[in-house]
């Protein structure tokens, strides 16, 4: 996931760095970010970050109170965040 994040960051820096070359070149580079493959990578990146955050919250719950109920709660939290993230990204995926 960290490799994807670094690649994503460099792609945006590359596009913004070409802004000095004029609006035509800049807009051509920005159109690359509208490609379906890039949108899919964007969703994968956000999914990875969201899952990592949800897993961290779940780990804090389990570490604080290590019981079977809290393990179920962690699984429910991860599932809920996954569902919310999926529904929230449907417009982005459908627009690609």
Neighbour count for residue 58 (Cβ, 10 Å): 19
Give the residue from 92, 19, 89, 6 showing the smallest Cα distance to 50: 89
Alpha helical stretches, state H, the chain = 2-17, 23-32, 36-64, 68-95
Q: Name the pLDDT band for 48 (thresholds 50, 70, 90).
A: confident
Q: Name the pLDDT band for 66 (thresholds 50, 70, 90).
A: low
pLDDT at 1: 66
The pLDDT of 53-67, averaged and rounded, is 74
pLDDT for residue 95 is more than 80: no
Give the residue from 11, 10, 5 showing the smallest Cα distance to 30: 11
pTM, rounded to two decimals = 0.59
Q: What is the dihedral of CA 61, 65, 71, 72, to 10 degrees?
A: -90
pLDDT for residue 88 is more than 70: yes
């Amino acid at each position: 996931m960290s490799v994807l994040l670094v690649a994503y960051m460099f792609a945006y820096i590359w596009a913004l760095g070409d802004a000095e070359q004029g609006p035509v070149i800049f807009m051509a580079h920005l159109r690359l970010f509208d490609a379906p493959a890039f949108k899919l990578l964007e969703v994968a990146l956000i999914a990875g970050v969201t899952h990592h955050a949800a897993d961290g919250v779940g780990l804090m719950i389990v570490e604080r109170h290590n019981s079977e109920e809290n393990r179920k709660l962690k699984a429910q939290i991860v599932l809920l965040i996954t569902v919310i993230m999926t529904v929230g990204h449907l417009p982005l995926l459908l627009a690609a």
